[in-house]
Amino acid sequence: MSDQETTVAALRALVESFVDQREWHQFHSPKNLSMSLAVEAAELMEHFQWITGEASREIGSDSRKLEAVSDELADVMCYALALANELSIDVDTAMRVKMKKNEAKYPIR
Amino acid sequence: MSDQETTVAALRALVESFVDQREWHQFHSPKNLSMSLAVEAAELMEHFQWITGEASREIGSDSRKLEAVSDELADVMCYALALANELSIDVDTAMRVKMKKNEAKYPIR
Amino acid sequence: MSDQETTVAALRALVESFVDQREWHQFHSPKNLSMSLAVEAAELMEHFQWITGEASREIGSDSRKLEAVSDELADVMCYALALANELSIDVDTAMRVKMKKNEAKYPIR
Amino acid sequence: MSDQETTVAALRALVESFVDQREWHQFHSPKNLSMSLAVEAAELMEHFQWITGEASREIGSDSRKLEAVSDELADVMCYALALANELSIDVDTAMRVKMKKNEAKYPIR
């Protein structure tokens, strides 16, 4: 599979199944998930902490670093989708609604 | 549309188009995007800062709060996908690879 | 007063008094304070999000921006000291203990 | 020494000396320091991620956990003071100015 074919729902189901099998819903209050998301975002950021913006664009050429960054991005996605699951938020709808607001706020010149 | 039908690639294209039309790629170094992601994760967290875990599970019953949380979650998703776009990371693959590691780390009892 | 004369205890007392007068200890669990600290750190970071490292060194020459950054840094300090208050952590001791570990980890070449 | 006697300036000098001896000023742009501060705040938060607010109040009774939390709080303080050093912000003044604004925003009832 790949992003070309995978639906958001398929990824949500992947996360839901993982959480469900471990009986982790009891810990997955939206409050706790929001903390986890922030923690994972910080771990992702850590990879770019001491390098310049320009150097960060070249990180893809180092396969080990790219894998580490991919892993952290995956963690961010997992918690974002876990939160969407807990609150029954449709991500596609949420993104399109927010994008409309962003378009109004930042019109194309 | 909804998460049932939307592919990850469709959401990525939505973000890419928004960024491209505003000529924002120059600002979207992975370093800067990782900061934006952390900033948005914190804004999401802010909604749950002073309430208990239990109370956070009820946030869906307040439609205004749910909309505010949905907006912040959408921002998190936008920056996560913008980062995937900049680094050509396939989110589906990254999540499945990371999930395998998580399964090994947290086996089902 | 200034940093030359003010003790850490004086700043801790300032924060304690503010919290106490508003009867906010009930909300100031270490968990909640750690979230607040992360939220304020993100708000501080927001000022540097889209500028280069070099440009960020010049922020002091813009008095309005410097005041905004000072305000966010003050918020970070307030929550860090509020957490120290709640957990009765002596900041001076904690910093000296941690600095010893850092010196071992990063020896001077 | 302890917070009762240590001045903020003494702690700032401790950080300055550590940074100076390792020639790290070149990496310590305010942008990078704001990222480090957010990363350390997230590491601190990680200790409280899956426990309730009430349980987090009891963390002081576990000396190993308290030491881990103290270490992370020390890291937060180090980067906050490193940023104050780089931007020549007087922390005492910044906190008193911000506290005045907070008092106006949140009057005592």
pLDDT of B100 reads 97
B25-54: average pLDDT: 98
Of all residues in chain B, what percent carry a pLDDT higher than 90? 98
D56-75: average pLDDT: 97
Q: Which of C70, C67, C80 is nearest to C34 (CA)?
A: C80
Q: Mind listing the pLDDT tens digit for each residue in B54-103?
A: 999 999 999 999 999 999 999 999 999 999 999 999 999 999 999 999 99
pLDDT of B109 reads 81
Query: Residue A73 and residue C34: Cα distance in Å, rounded?
Result: 23
Cβ within 8 Å, pair D101-C71: yes
Taking contacts as CB-CB distances below 8 angstroms, the residues of chain C near A52 are 52-53
Distance in Å, alpha carbon of C28 to nearest chain B alpha carbon = 8
Taking contacts as CB-CB distances below 8 angstroms, the residues of chain C near D5 are 7, 9
- How would residue C1 be classed by pLDDT, with cut points 50, 70 and 90? confident
Distance in Å, alpha carbon of A37 to nearest chain B alpha carbon = 6
Query: Residue D15 and residue D17: Cα distance in Å, rounded?
Result: 5
pLDDT of A83 reads 98
Taking contacts as CB-CB distances below 8 angstroms, the residues of chain C near D48 are 30-31, 34
In sequence order, what are the residues at sequence separation of 6 or more whose Cβ sits closer than 8 angstroms to the Cβ of residue D37? C41, C44, C45, C76, D76, D79, D80, D83
pLDDT of A74 reads 98
pLDDT of C109 reads 81
Q: How many of the other CB atoms lie within 10 Å of CB of C47?
A: 18
Distance in Å, alpha carbon of A1 to nearest chain D alpha carbon = 33
B12-17: average pLDDT: 98
* Contact between C50 and D30 (Cβ < 8 Å): no
> Residue A35: closest CA among chain D residues belongs to which residue?
D49
Pick from B38, B52, B53: CB nearest D38: B38
Of all residues in chain B, what percent carry a pLDDT higher than 70? 100
Mean pLDDT of chain B: 97
From the number of C-beta atoms within 10 Å of its C-beta (0-12, 13-18, 19+), residue B107 rates as exposed
Give buried/exposed letters for A55-67 (b at 16+ CB in 10 A, else e): ebbebbeeeeebe
pLDDT of A33 reads 98
pLDDT of D1 reads 75
Pick from C32, C35, C46: CB nearest B39: C46
Query: Residue C3 and residue B35: Cα distance in Å, rounded?
Result: 30
What is the residue whose two structure tokens read 């907070």? D102
Cβ within 8 Å, pair A90-B3: yes
pLDDT of B34 reads 98
Query: Residue C6 and residue D96: Cα distance in Å, rounded?
Result: 11
Query: Residue A17 and residue B103: Cα distance in Å, rounded?
Result: 11
Distance in Å, alpha carbon of B97 to nearest chain A alpha carbon = 8
Residues in chain D: 109
pLDDT of D85 reads 98
Q: Mind listing the pLDDT tens digit for each residue in D40-58?
A: 999 999 999 999 999 999 9
> Residue C28: closest CA among chain B residues belongs to which residue?
B50
- Write down the pTM of the prediction: 0.97
Q: Which of C93, C41, C103, C101 is nearest to C72 (CA)?
A: C41
Q: Mind listing the pLDDT tens digit for each residue in A82-93?
A: 999 999 999 999
Taking contacts as CB-CB distances below 8 angstroms, the residues of chain C near A33 are none
Mean pLDDT of chain D: 97
Give yes or no for residue A1 having a pLDDT over 80: no
Residue C50 amino acid letter:
W
DSSP assignment of chain D? --TTT-BHHHHHHHHHHHHHHTT-TTT--HHHHHHHHHHHHHHHHHTTTTS-HHHHHTGGGSHHHHHHHHHHHHHHHHHHHHHHHHHT--HHHHHHHHHHHHHHHS---
Query: Residue D57 and residue B109: Cα distance in Å, rounded?
Result: 30
Query: Residue B25 and residue B40: Cα distance in Å, rounded?
Result: 19
Taking contacts as CB-CB distances below 8 angstroms, the residues of chain C near A35 are 35
- How would residue A101 be classed by pLDDT, with cut points 50, 70 and 90? very high
pLDDT of A109 reads 81
The set of chains that have 3 or more CB pairs under 8 A with A is: B, C, D
Of all residues in chain A, what percent carry a pLDDT higher than 90? 98
- How would residue B42 be classed by pLDDT, with cut points 50, 70 and 90? very high
Mean pLDDT of chain C: 97
Q: Judge if ipTM > 0.90.
A: yes
pLDDT of D40 reads 98
- How would residue D13 be classed by pLDDT, with cut points 50, 70 and 90? very high
CA B89 to chain centroid, in Å, comes to 14
> Residue D31: closest CA among chain A residues belongs to which residue?
A49
Give yes or no for residue D109 having a pLDDT over 90: no
B12-18: average pLDDT: 98
A35-46: average pLDDT: 98
How many interface pairs between C and D have CB atoms less than 8 angstroms apart? 225
Distance in Å, alpha carbon of A5 to nearest chain D alpha carbon = 34
**Which chain C residues have any C-beta within 8 angstroms of a chain A C-beta?**
35, 38, 42, 52-53
C69-96: average pLDDT: 98
Give yes or no for residue C54 having a pLDDT over 80: yes
Indicate the SS3 state at residue C7: strand
Mean pLDDT of chain A: 97
